[in-house]
Amino acid sequence: MNTPISSIRNLGPAYEEACARAGIPSAEHLRALGADETYALLLKNGTKPHFIGYYVLVMGLQGRPWNDCKGEEKKALRIRFDAIKERAFDKGLSELETLLNQIGVVEKRR
């Protein structure tokens, strides 16, 4: 099957476009990856980190409204988000360097 990503609760056309840029073509593929790996791929492919974007994804994969995330659950998700951001988002590269790296033109600096 090739169900659109926008069929997942809370995820609209913009999320679908970001997933396409990250090589995630369908809702089935996204579900197989899970929220954390999906979000890491989004960050590695140009999406800027934003906590709400992460927990919207988590809630959507659970079939819950995006604003259902509260209290201790939200605190735990923030810890997961920060860990994903730390390993997947390279804030040291310019946008041009990031794009060139994505297509394999430049080697990633560390």
Residue whose structure tokens are 């140009």 = 46
pLDDT confidence of residue 15: 95
Report the distance separating Cα 54 and Cα 99, nearest Å: 22
15 closest CA partner among 62, 51, 63, 54: 54
Whether the CB-CB separation of 87 and 40 falls below 8 Å is answered with yes
The DSSP 8-state label assigned to residue 5 in this structure reads G
pLDDT confidence of residue 89: 81
pLDDT digit string, tens, across residues 49-88: 999 999 999 999 999 999 999 999 999 999 999 999 988 8
Average pLDDT, the chain: 88
pTM summary value: 0.80
pLDDT confidence of residue 22: 95
Sorted by where each begins, the domain ranges of the chain are 5-102
47 closest CA partner among 26, 19, 74: 19
Report the distance separating Cα 25 and Cα 19, nearest Å: 7
Q: Is 87 exposed, middle or buried (0-12, 13-18, 19+ CB in 10 A)?
A: exposed
Confidence class of residue 98 from pLDDT cuts 50, 70 and 90? low
| 5-102: CATH topology | DNA polymerase; domain 1 (1.10.150)
pLDDT confidence of residue 11: 97
